[in-house]
Amino acid sequence: MSPSTPGRTRTAPPRLPDKFPFEGRYRAYTLFDATGILYLMLGLLVLGSVWALGSGEAAWNHVQATYRSATYVIFHLIAIVAVVFVGVRFFSFFPKAQPPRIGPAKPPPEPVLLGMLYVAWIGVAGVLSIILAGGIF
Amino acid sequence: MSDGQQKKTIVVTRFDPDQDEAPREQSYEIPVQPGWKVLDALNFIKDEVDATLSHRWSCRMAVCGSCGMMVDGEPRLTCKDSLDQYGDTVRIAPLSNFPVIRDLVIETDGFMEKLSDVKPWIIRAKEKAVEEGPVRQSPAELEEFKQFSMCINCMLCYSACPVVANEPEFLGPAAIALGHRYSIDSRDEGAAERNEIFLGEGTVFSCSFANECSEVCPKHVDPAAAVNQAKFNAAIHWATRLVLPPPTKGDE
């Protein structure tokens, strides 16, 4: 007599991790991912600025005046905090995301790699700030 | 048992598929001994209090990966965690992100399939003849992948991963780390094949670098590092493929 083949056991559905999404370490992760909304809004603002730039001096001046309002200043201050948060968090993980070697070359030691990242970030941000403030060109 | 013996309340998630519509909690107040691990408390409950409790365990020394459970909301190896590090009430539940067969026992079929999906074996273009001797590997070459070979398949990383929570088909930290372990093994010649797998949907690029997998890994494998290194390698493979199409079988 061949053995019976029992049907598949009924299972309880998977549960989400208890602390997801706002407790413990997940809070930082959720905030990190939520900054995507700010990046989207910043991107739309940049597109709007470029559109105004192509629409004539009056449109451009109107956009500049809008950006001086309290709402936009507060938004951009929040955005700066978010960008710094994203940068610091991403840079903290960046060294271990590097492959052990690229061809024959190994990545530099972690402190050197981190230093290079921060120097590049601050350097580029500084140059852009000077250009936007009219210091160059 | 003396009256002065320390007691703890263990709140266990129970589920009997034949009787329960959904998982429920059941509390057990038990005497605990100094030096007990969480697993000792569960075994005491099963041996002395309620023989119907079902849970997996084996080695009792954090090498088999069988006893992973949620302890006070964190995925932990219950044989490794001392009961002293928890309060008077300890909540034990099955690992999150997995279907539950019964009580603390989860269904692992999907996980096993994901492991085999990454071709977790040495791939050689042409096998070396036995009489030619072994394929040699230096200690430095071993160090490049050794940490990724320490995985005990305990699935704590899957339980912690927010991407697995929302995308059950995601290949996941342990499987990707396993595939990456072989791809960076100097004896292996199958990196290109695995990179093709990693360019597919639900693989490395679904990872959003939460790093929770590495936080909970009891063997310090750092699967987040493996996944993101695999992203880099897969991206390089994709770019290289645009310029240099892969050789066809007849060309070899």
Q: If you count them, how many residues does chain B have?
A: 252
Q: Nearest C-alpha of chain A: how many angstroms from B148?
A: 12
**Average pLDDT, stretch B223-250?**
86
* Of residues B171, B174, B161, the one with CA closest to residue B117: B171
Instruction: With respect to residue B56, please indicate whether it lies within any of the assigned structural domains.
Output: yes
Q: What spatial distance separates the first Cα and last Cα of chain A, rounded to whole Å?
A: 90
Of the pLDDT bands very low, low, confident and very high (cuts 50, 70, 90), residue B1 is: very low
Residue of B101, B145, B225 lying closest to A9 (CB–CB): B101
Q: Do B23 and A20 touch (CB under 8 A)?
A: no
Do B215 and B238 lie in a common domain? yes
- Convert the pLDDT of each residue in A3-59 to its tens digit: 566 667 789 999 999 899 999 999 999 999 999 999 999 999 999 999 998 999 999
Whether residue B1 lies inside any domain: the answer is: no
Q: Which two tokens stand for residue B190?
A: 């199958």
What pLDDT sits at residue B3?
Answer: 55
CATH number of the domain within which B62 lies: 3.10.20.30
B178 and B73, same structural domain?
Answer: no
**Inter-chain residue contact B232 with A93, CB threshold 8 Å:** no
Q: Would you say residue B32 lies in a domain?
A: yes
Q: What is the pLDDT of residue A10?
A: 87
C-alpha–C-alpha distance, residues B180 and A94, integer Å: 17
User: B31: which strand partners?
Assistant: B7
What pLDDT, on the 0 to 100 scale, is given for residue B251?
44
> Would residue B211 count as lying in a domain?
yes
The CATH number of A18-97 is which of 3.40.1360.10, 2.60.40.10, 1.20.1300.10, 3.40.1640.10? 1.20.1300.10
One domain, residues B212 and B135:
yes
Instruction: For residue B236, give the chain A residue with the closest CA.
Output: A102
Q: Residue A94: is its pLDDT beyond 80?
A: yes
Comparing A80-89, B110-119, B240-249, the range with the smallest average pLDDT is B240-249
Nearest CA in chain A to B224: A97
Indicate whether B122 and B150 sit together in one domain.
yes
**Residue A135 pLDDT greater than 90, yes or no:** no
**Stated length of chain A:** 137
Higher pLDDT, B156 or B134: B156
Selected residue of A15, A26, A94 to mutate for chain B interface (largest B Cβ count, 10 A):
A15
User: Whole domain around residue B61: which residue ranges?
Assistant: 7-106
Domain end position, chosen among B106, B123, B152: B106
Half-sphere exposure of B56 (CA within 13 A, CB side): 22
Residues B171 and B59 in one domain: no
**Which of B71, B106, B141 lies at the terminal end of a domain, its last residue?**
B106
The set of residues, in sequence order, having a beta carbon less than 8 Å from that of B80 and lying 6+ positions away, is B37, B62, B218
Domain-located, residue B236: yes
Contact flag A11-B231 (C-beta cutoff 8 Å)? no
| B94, B143: one domain | no
Among A89-103, B120-134, B198-212, which range has the highest average pLDDT?
B198-212
Answer yes or no: do B113 and B160 share one domain. yes
Instruction: Give the CATH number for residue B202.
Output: 1.10.1060.10
Measured over the CA atoms of residue A97, residue A100, residue A102 and residue A105, the dihedral's sign is positive
The distance from CA B82 to its chain's CA centroid, rounded to whole angstroms, is 21
Q: Tell me, yes or no, whether B51 lies in a domain.
A: yes
User: Where in chain A are the domains?
Assistant: 18-97, 101-137
Is residue B76 scored above 70 in pLDDT?
yes
CA B213 to chain centre: 9
Residue type for B78, please?
T
Q: Does B248 have pLDDT greater than 70? A: no
What is the rounded CA–CA span in Å between residue B60 and residue B39?
8
Q: Let me know whether B62 and B119 are in one domain.
A: no
In a domain, B239, yes or no: yes
Mean pLDDT of A120-135: 89
| B2 occurs within a structural domain | no
Confidence at B183, pLDDT banded by 50, 70, 90:
very high
Asked if the C-beta of B97 comes within 8 angstroms of chain A's C-beta atoms, the answer is yes
Task: Name the residue with tokens 């119907």.
Answer: B52
Task: Give the pLDDT mean for A97-118.
Answer: 85
Residue B209 has pLDDT above 90, yes or no: yes
Closest CA to B204 of B229, B240, B238, B239: B229
Are B124 and B61 in the same domain?
Answer: no
More reliable by pLDDT, B132 or B1? B132
Q: Is the ipTM of this complex over 0.90?
A: no
pLDDT, one tens digit per residue, over B15-68 is: 999 999 999 999 999 999 999 999 999 999 999 999 999 999 999 999 999 999
Show which of B48, B73, B106 is a domain's final residue.
B106
- Nearest by Cα to B118 from B220, B223, B214, B222: B223
- Please indicate whether, in this complex, the C-beta atoms of B215 and A24 are within 8 angstroms of each other: no
Our measurement of the distance from residue A116's CA atom to the centroid of its chain's CA atoms, rounded to an integer in Å, reads 19
**Of B1-15, B23-37, B146-160, B187-201, which range is least confident?**
B1-15
First to last CA, chain B: 73
Residues of chain B neighbouring A100 (CB-CB closer than 8 A): 144-145, 184, 229
* Judgement on whether residues B101 and B52 belong to the same structural domain of the protein: yes
